Amino acid sequence: MSGRPRGIDVQRRRLLQATAGLSLLGLASAASAEDAETVTLVYDTHFDGQFGDEDEPNVARYATEVRRLLDEYENAVFVGGGDDLSPSVLSLVYEGEHMVPALEELDPVVNGVSHHDFDFGAEVAEERFAESEFPWVNAQLLTDEGEPVPGTERWITVDAGGITLGFFSLAREDFVSTTDYPEEWQVLDQVEAAEEAVEALTEEGADVIVCAGRVPQGEKFELPTAVDGIDAFVGSSGDVDGIDDLPSDVEDETPEPPTVIDGSVVSRVGKEFDYLGALTLDTAGDLVDYELVEVTTDVEPDSAMQAIVHEWFGELREEYDRPFFAIDEPLDVTLDASNGTESVFGNLATEAMLEEGDADIAILNPGGIRTNDVYGPGEIRGLDILNILPFPNRLVVAEVSGEAIVEYLSAQVSALPWSNFGAQPGKQVAGVQYEWSGHDGDAVAENFYVGGEPLEPDETFELATLDFLLDARDALSDAEVVYESEEFVGPIVLSALEEQGEVSTRTDERMLRVDEDLGTLVRRERNRGALTLVFDAPESALEIQPETFVAVTQAGVVAEAVDAAVDEEANELHVEFDRTDTGTITSAANRPHTDLRIFGGYEPDEEFFGYDRELPVNPLVENYRLKGTVDRL
């Protein structure tokens, strides 16, 4: 299927039958629906440069379902939402060129322009837009001269069976900081751009006006109230209130039925290949029918799309579809792990960055870690790692002050009660250790160490990170770059892991969560070679978890406790260590410039924190954590 978009100038009508379910969804009544002219929007894309795996829902199975829906519904057109050219391992190699023939095979009447379509810069994006037979649109994006991005339009009209459809799309609020968009180009205000699009499309005679594209959920639900005349918002899921990195239990939910807000139909389906939506509207823009299609492995792949996949994947599979290293524990790259904890993969990736850049500190943003999956244990393919780190980001080493590092890492902490996903450190690091807490609405990070030594605010450090982070974050904007890699970060990390062969799965207390600080040691007790450290009892704990207690220095864990208990009568916490660790703990506590702390997990008393909501906890964080400091023994 190629050339002129399906559904244009097609004179077909669908006779609608009333059902009880339609009124429950706020659909047009049976009386008004009979003999009404309708159009069906089949949507969405948001492919992230992916083709998908052969044994899962993928672009070829997706294409089969698109064709089925276009044949099944009268006056049906396929609508894309953008975020299609990147990020993926294929995109790293082909800079999104592989997605153009795949999208053309789906034959969209329009595709929205979104942030990942600019991951390789404006020049590459313009080439992809120009190569496409279908139109790309975005009402907000203008060049420095006030013109639409070359190869795109701000809005278009399409005639489908006598109904004139008007299409435009919008950009997310943090568009500039999330992609390689030219600084001198314009991003108009969302409401301003939407109002301008509605006015222009109305003058052009649009019967139904549709905003098609990936806009964060909070913004998408506010726009129907802020802007009159938009009949439908269709797009993909994956964002909530502008947050791109969702925990898996949020992002993987089955899309809900359409919502009607101030007369606008708002409908979102899952990104990539899991779901398709079919939204039927009448000439007044009212919702008449809706179908959500789950793309499963039972669907036969479309042969034409499969041929495109095989053509572009051929050389890539030959080089990278083989084991590169082995791991003895699962490699968790879910969003929960990448955002909320020190993760095994975060450690492996940042250590590779640290070594490549010969730097003091390495920082990797969780948004750069994709796939939201778990790999292994066992052999890990090269394709897996390149899909986990698919962005065209180069490694840079920049000279940064200690003050800027503290400011940056502190600002990344997600705090309660405003964080919907629990308190989270929000970064993966190497070369640095610090404590962090996200309570009382004020994210706090402190006790920073670099290479085991206290961080000095005025000292200059060499930071290895991704090139776009320096431009996107104010705290790092003045950093002087002293090195930039020729390769992208994904291949750099893969090469380091291949060299290791058998990869360690350790974590070593780089980002230390503190929910309650118990202060300094009250006393010590020795009994037959065992050492018991006594602190004031925690106030925010319902129950402590003895098996989680450890002694930590700025170099990591030095001993694991054999027991821990609260003496309620004395209001004390007793943490016991085995005699074999007594010497190590005593030496660490008495060594100059060594900071010995005791950390342990506990079940929190939610009332203690005084929040009006249930405290959210990252699914991978099984406990809250307390800290006690040992000055000397």
Within a domain: 531: yes
In a domain, 178, yes or no: yes
The answer to whether 293 touches 69, Cβ cutoff 8 Å, is yes
Highest mean pLDDT among 18-27, 583-592, 612-621: 583-592
Would you say residue 23 has pLDDT above 60?
Answer: no
DSSP symbol at 83: -
Same domain, 309 and 201: yes
> pLDDT tens digits for 147-165?
999 999 999 999 998 899 9
- Average confidence (pLDDT) over 519-525: 95
How far does CA 465 lie from the centroid of its chain? 18
- Same structural domain, 337 and 464: yes
Angle at 408 (CA atoms; ends 485, 403), nearest 5 degrees: 100
- Rounded to whole angstroms, the Cα distance separating 161 from 153 reads 23
Band of the pLDDT at 27, cuts 50, 70, 90?
low
The angle formed by the CA atoms of residues 139, 83 and 215, to the nearest 5 degrees, is 55
Residue 243 DSSP code: B
Query: Are 184 and 220 contained in the same domain?
Result: yes
| Domain presence at residue 7 | no
Distance CA 470, CA 458 (A): 19
- Of 248, 282, 250, nearest in space to 263 by CA: 282
Do 534 and 625 reside in the same domain of the chain?
yes
Residues ≥6 apart with Cβ < 8 Å to 358 = 397, 462
As a whole-number percent, the residues of the chain with pLDDT over 90 amount to 69
In sequence order, the β-bridge partners of residue 445 are 436
489 and 531 part of one domain: no
- Checking if the pLDDT of 174 tops 80, the result is no
User: 392 and 119 in contact (C-beta within 8 Å)?
Assistant: yes
Residues 490 and 568 in one domain: no
* CA pair distance 539, 568, nearest whole angstrom: 11
Q: How open is the CA angle 60-61-63, to the nearest 5 degrees?
A: 65
- Structural tokens at position 418: 């405003």
> pLDDT tens digits, residue range 306-322?
999 999 988 888 889 99
Over residues 238-248, mean pLDDT? 36
Angle between helices 303-320 and 99-106 (to 10 degrees): 160
- Helix (H) and strand (E) counts in the chain: 18, 38
Instruction: List C-alpha distances in Å: 507 to 120, 414, 504.
Output: 33, 21, 9
For 300, residues 6+ apart whose C-beta sits below 8 A from its C-beta are 61, 64
| CATH number of 436's domain | 3.90.780.10
Average pLDDT over residues 503-508: 87
pLDDT value of residue 218: 54
Residue that finishes a domain, picked among 449, 483, 511 = 511
Task: Please report, for the domain that includes residue 620, its CATH number.
Answer: 2.40.30
280 and 335 both lie in a single domain: no
| Domain assignment present for 13 | no
How many domains is the chain partitioned into structurally?
3
Question: Is residue 563 in a domain?
Answer: yes
Please list, in sequence order, all residues whose beta carbon lies within 8 angstroms of the beta carbon of residue 312, skipping any fewer than 6 positions away.
Answer: 51, 90, 94, 98
Q: Which one of 313, 345, 361 terminates a domain?
A: 313
Same domain membership, residue 49 and residue 189: yes
574 and 504 housed in the same domain: no
Instruction: Mark which of 291, 313, 335 sits at the end of a domain.
Output: 313
Whole domain around residue 412: which residue ranges? 322-511
Report DSSP letters for 435-499, one per residue.
Answer: EEEEETTEEEEEEEEETTEEPPTTSEEEEEEEHHHHHH-GGGTTPEEEEEEEEEHHHHHHHHHHH
560 domain-assigned: yes
3 belongs to a structural domain:
no
Among 472, 488, 493, 492, which residue's Cα sits nearest to residue 86? 488
76 φψ region: left (φ > 0), alpha (ψ -120 to 50), beta (else): beta
pLDDT tens digits, 570-589? 999 999 999 899 999 999 99
Q: Grade residue 445 by pLDDT with cuts at 50, 70 and 90.
A: confident
Distance CA(123)–CA(114), nearest Å, equals 15
Average pLDDT for 259-271: 88
**In terms of domains, do 538 and 467 share one?**
no
Residue 344: its H or E element: helix 344-357
487 pLDDT higher than 70: yes
For the chain, what is the largest distance between any 2 Cα atoms, rounded to a whole number of angstroms? 92
Is a pLDDT exceeding 50 seen at residue 475? yes
What is the rounded distance in angstroms from the CA atom of residue 147 to the CA atom of residue 128? 18
If asked whether residues 199 and 50 sit together in one domain, one would say: yes
CATH code at 40?
Answer: 3.60.21.10
The DSSP bridge pattern shows strands 152-153 and 136-137 to be: parallel
Helical H runs in 82-171? 89-94, 99-106, 122-131
Same domain, 309 and 384: no
In a domain, residue 15? The reply is: no
What confidence score (pLDDT) does residue 21 get?
A: 34
pLDDT of the residue at 223: 86
Nearest in space to 622 (alpha carbons), one of 242, 340, 274, 317: 340
**Mean pLDDT estimate for the chain:** 87
